[in-house]
A and B are shown apart, each in its own frame.
Chain A
């Protein structure tokens, strides 16, 4: 006979344990990296080992340059991303709600969604100015389309009866938006933002090629020009960590408190 199938409830793990559980795969990755570099005896110009990267990173931390770069990049990413989210979510909802708007906007949306940020740079510079304007545009362009498409999907998967129920309980347009469409589309919006912000960081790196003397992308390009692979890898790690933190501190709690709790998606 099978062992007792009874499941005993386990209390939610503590914050520390949760963090550890989240971090150990990353530690594993670092170990694999170091072992691979040592085992294959990789040239540091091709791929540096862990201590080299750490000491290169340490140097930038001490002399304060890292902080400047991170600060500059964070500012650019936040402005671009926030602009994109506040335009994309309403647009996605409008398209999900109105057939007319969606027929009108689908073709341009489709057309522009593949146009890379770097292709826009010469034109964006003309329109929005060199430097901050163009950079913001490139980041915006990276985030906007994913969030729009995911919001659109989110809105159109809300079961019709829910929208009907709200309408017949007297919800006006605004209330429909805040009480039904936004929460209903939330799982998809979160995934859209999660994907979009990932692309925002990528867009940033492309954008910081131009008109800058600060930022992680700048740091990365400069390192590339002088073959400082360990600085490149360090910058990549910093970008990854910042993004992880943002996701852990902003998106994941939002997800847990809302869509998972409401039973709209299964818990992970």
Chain B
């Protein structure tokens, strides 16, 4: 116990000194474990490639230019889908959160559709919209929608009503109250909703690209898989993970720090 504790204390101090390291260190044991399992040959290499194999494959894909091309395609699809999803989900969440009639009408419908996966929709969507960006966007929007709406509604409903009253009696109109009071108050929840929604939107994209895809990271992963190679899957997972890591830690987390945490709504 003791040495572990010292080690832990050392780690904490180090992360405070070099926050950048905090992002890398936790992966070291993971990669070590992975290498170890591969080294033990518990599973045949073809089914569980080692870090080295994956790196080589990644380099190969990068070298051929496929990786970047496909990554570009996926990112475009995701951005379109995420932008459309947010543009739809946040206002919808606000509307439902503010208006109890809208809540009453839409809640059952929302919950009903929430459980019906995008994969179930795909065959029907394909017939409606074809194999293009529209279908992809639809699938992503569909996935982003629910976590963002649910969290936004919660956020709005948990804003202290006294703050809204204060704004009203200081002369704020309804739209002003929305922007000056309700939205900032709901922001921590909205961000968590986005974190969940976009994260899962990313997953939906992969699922969609397997079927709809003609390019993209999901396509890359499963195109190879159809011929029996697992390496591309792992490469794809790592690329996706890193990409999302960047989005979260460079966009969402800073917003979070500058708002909810700074205002003391959320303890850091």
B230 touches A123 (CB 8 A): yes
Inter-chain contact A110/B240, CB cutoff 8 Å: no
Give the A-B pair count, Cβ closer than 8 A: 203
A166 interface contact, C-beta 8 A: no
* A28 → chain B closest CB, angstroms: 8
Assess whether B146 is in contact with A104, with CB atoms less than 8 Å apart. no
A222 CB–B CB distance under 8 Å: no
Interface assignment of A61: CB less than 8 Å from any CB of chain B: no
* A25 CB contacts on chain B under 8 angstroms: 104-109
Given contacts A26-B112, A111-B244, A265-B158, contact A153 B189 (CB under 8 A): yes
How many angstroms between the C-alpha atoms of A160 and B104 in the bound complex?
34
- Other-chain residue from B24, B117, B265 in contact with A201 (beta carbon distance below 8 A): B117
User: How long is the Cα–Cα vector from A146 to B147 in the complex, in angstroms?
Assistant: 8
The answer for the CA separation of A25 and B107 in the assembled complex, in Å, is 9
Bitwise, B152-196 to A at CB < 8 A (1) or not (0) is 001001100100000000000000000000000000110010011
- Output the nearest chain B residue to A43 by Cβ-Cβ distance: B127
Instruction: List A107-124 residues whose CB lies under 8 Å from chain B.
Output: 107-108, 110-119, 122-123
Query: Are A111 and B11 in contact (CB-based, < 8 A)?
Result: no
Residue of A nearest to B43 (CB): A126
Q: Quick one: CB contact mask for A240-261 with B, threshold 8 Å, 1 for yes?
A: 1111100100000000000000
With an 8 A cutoff between CB atoms, is B120 at the interface?
Answer: yes
A116 in contact with B116 (CB, 8 Å): no
Minimum C-beta distance from B33 to chain A (A): 12
Residues of A within 8 A of B15 (CB): 103
Check B109 against A29 for contact (C-beta < 8 Å).
yes
CB atoms of B12 and A195 under 8 A apart? no
Q: A167-211, CB under 8 A of B: which get 1 and which 0? A: 000000000000000000001100100110111011111100000
Encode contact with A along B103-123: 1 for CB under 8 Å, 0 otherwise. Answer: 111111101111111111101
A224–B225 Cα distance when bound, in Å, is 22
B233 A108 Cβ-Cβ under 8 A: no
A166 CB to nearest B CB, Å? 15
- With A103-B15, A244-B108 in contact, do A126 and B47 touch (Cβ < 8 Å)? yes
Q: Is B200 an interface residue (CB 8 A)?
A: yes
Chain A, residues 85-117, CB within 8 Å of chain B (1/0): the string is 000000000001001100111111011111111
Least Cβ–Cβ distance between A27 and chain B, in angstroms: 10
**Contact A191 to B150, CB < 8 A, known contacts A114-B240, A114-B241, A115-B240:** yes
Interface residues as binary, A32-52 with B (CB distance below 8 Å gives 1, 0 otherwise): 000000000000011100000
Binding site for A on B (CB under 8 A): 8, 11-12, 15, 22-27, 30, 43, 47-48, 100, 103-109, 111-121, 123-124, 127-128, 146-147, 150-151, 154, 157-158, 161, 188-189, 192, 195-196, 199-200, 202-204, 206-207, 210, 218, 221, 225, 230, 233-234, 236-237, 240-245, 248-249, 260, 265-268
- Pull 5 A–B residue pairs with CB atoms less than 8 Å apart, ordered by A: A25-B104, A103-B12, A113-B195, A149-B196, A229-B124
